[in-house]
Copies of this chain bind each other. A is one copy, B any other.
Amino acid sequence: MEKNYLIKIAYDGSGFSGWQKQPDKRTVQGVLEEAIGFFTGQDIRLNGTSRTDAGVHALGQCASFRGDFSIPPENLLKAVNSRLSGGRAKRSTVGDVKLLSIEEVDPGFHARFDCAGKTYRYVIDNGPEEDIFRRNYTGRVAEPLDVGLMREAAAYMTGTHDFKAFQSSGGEERETTVRTVSGVTVERQGTDVIIQVTGDGFLYNMVRIMTGTLIEAGLGRRTPGSVKDVIDSLDRANAGPTAPASGLYLKEIYFQEK
């Protein structure tokens, strides 16, 4: 009998053309569907919660899929991870995606439509010298950031707003651009500055544009209060630049029910 499963996934996005399957490209969805299909003998179709862009990482992406197979889920998890890790071979893309958990869920559950909220993390390398070993894992800002100013600016982003000004073109059509951001934190950790944003949903590139705008505030190039004007303007041109994909991590996903 066909059952419904929810998986949680971590990946290093630097070797992927994003989540969503595309012909002739290495995508997270494509790699996972192949690996799960290998052990279940079925054509697997993953419904991912977030269609992360090329270069964006995940600490806790989720996806649901249906299947009628005999391998116990806990064995499937181990088998898929063994296949994906390939024992630390020389190729730098081996081992860059990993299943963290698998569980059976209600037949009607859908990882995308039942998502109630997400947390994203953005890591800025703000040290005096760029760390070349982390160039694919951070966004780089060479000038010192004022975390206090960034926090003041972030406060204007919290709450329920029309975030149209924080949306790139090119994403799929949405019914509304109103979203509730329940929290934005900005912390300095060593030479890094870490931004975390939690909300009920995010528009295309929203976290990266929020980050680009907070960076401008942290560099004194805009006042924290200007963030309110940006939101009110509903105009993308007034917000900051889109911060690079390399610093962004999909950290956690919250569901209404499973």
Contacts and interface: CB of A to CB of B under 8 A. Distances in A.
Interface of A: 10-12, 14-15, 54-55, 57, 88, 90, 92, 94-98, 130, 132-133, 135-137, 140, 244-246
Q: How many copies of the chain does the oligomer comprise?
A: 2
B132 A96 contact: yes
B140 A55 contact: no
A133 B57 contact: yes
**Residue among A90, A96, A133, A137 with most chain B CB within 10 A:** A133
A202 to B, nearest CB: 21
A18 to B, nearest CB: 11
Contacts of A57: 133
A133 B132 CA distance: 14
A204 to B, nearest CB: 17
Contact of A97 (B96, B98, B132, B140): B132
7 contacts: A14-B92, A54-B90, A88-B140, A88-B244, A90-B245, A94-B135, A95-B132
Contact of A132 (B54, B98, B140): B98
